[in-house]
Amino acid sequence: MIKQTIAFLGAGSMAEAMISGMVESGNIPAENIIVTNRSNQERLNTINHKYGVRTVLKDELNFAEVDQFILAMKPKDIDAVLADLKDKLTANQVLVSVLAGITTSYMEERLNEGQQVIRVMPNTSSMLRESATAISPGRFADMDNVLVAKELLKSIGEVFVIEEDKMDVFTGIAGSGPAYFYYLMEHIEETGRAEGMDRETLREIGAQTLLGAAKMMLERDESPTELRENVTSPNGTTAAGLNALDQAGGGYAISEAIKGAAGRSKELSKELEGLLVGSK
């Protein structure tokens, strides 16, 4: 059981997904979770009634009782929030940011020397507690606090500690990854419909096939290559399908999709931080 007190600065959809997972997991008492925003009392009331967590407007928050602050507001507000927090935080308190594109170094430069910062990146499956979440500690983050943050994030899925310079490729794989699977499903449905099958059945068949393959890969020791070879008989139907994928550049397209998304993630981070600096 996590005994720390955490406070969400922001109460949007990602924050709610995390709150829901944390409360359902039972890893942290609901009374140890505080949710704040600047002025939307109605939103806070909704979250309080739905999850039983404490809610308070940001100006009424007792900063001294909080161990970890989860930054879950809009990225454009980061400078104002950091300026407000800078002289209210102690070295033992931690900022955990779920803000896309904001690096730990950007935050550390705007806080007091030695302030603990952790950057995390959940994906949209967090709403189902099936997220693939990356966590990257800043320069001053204490490992005990990193482990607490990791345990909190396990309530919404699997957590992977990575170096921050790998965050963009993680985004290209896990952040954009759900869309790749939806794209694949679109074409499965389209092809099946052309052969006379109904959309609802096709969706269930395709989703179950993807789910089963994913579970097989997670639960077996074989590599993806070995698993593929195990289900591919020479001159069989799977071999014919894979050959068609190769001829159409399927593997190359997947690689380029990940590289493209990772490259855009890096560009967006630079653009966002550039805009924030330029707006001063």
Annotated ligand binding at 91? The verdict is no
Annotated ligand binding at 72? The verdict is yes
What type of residue is 107? Answer: M
Number of domains the chain contains:
2
pLDDT, tens digit, for every residue of 153-197? 999 999 999 999 999 999 999 999 999 999 999 999 999 999 999
Annotated ligand binding at 207? The verdict is no
User: Does 158 lie in the same domain as 68?
Assistant: yes
Last residue of a domain, one of 128, 163, 198: 163
Average pLDDT, rounded, for the chain = 94
Annotated ligand binding at 73? The verdict is yes
Annotated ligand binding at 75? The verdict is yes
pLDDT at 124 over 90: no
Task: Decide if 97 contacts 107 (C-beta within 8 A).
Answer: yes
Residue 231 lies in a domain: yes
Question: For position 48, which CATH number holds?
Answer: 3.40.50.720
Annotated ligand binding at 11? The verdict is yes
* Residues spanned by the domain of 188: 177-265
Residue 127 confidence class, pLDDT cut points 50, 70, 90? confident
Tokens in use for 159?
Answer: 């957590």
Annotated ligand binding at 239? The verdict is no
Annotated ligand binding at 9? The verdict is yes
User: Does 206 lie in the same domain as 158?
Assistant: no
The pTM assigned to this predicted structure is 0.89
Question: For position 204, which CATH number holds?
Answer: 1.10.3730.10
The CB-side HSE value for 182 (13 A sphere, CA atoms) comes to 6
Helix (H/G/I), strand (E/B), else coil: 226: helix
pLDDT at 279 over 70: no
Q: Write the CA distances from 141 to 93, 111, 116, 182, 261, integer angstroms.
A: 10, 13, 4, 36, 28
Q: How far is it, in rounded angstroms, from Cα 181 to Cα 184?
A: 5
The CB-side HSE value for 195 (13 A sphere, CA atoms) comes to 9
Chain centroid offset of residue 37 CA: 21
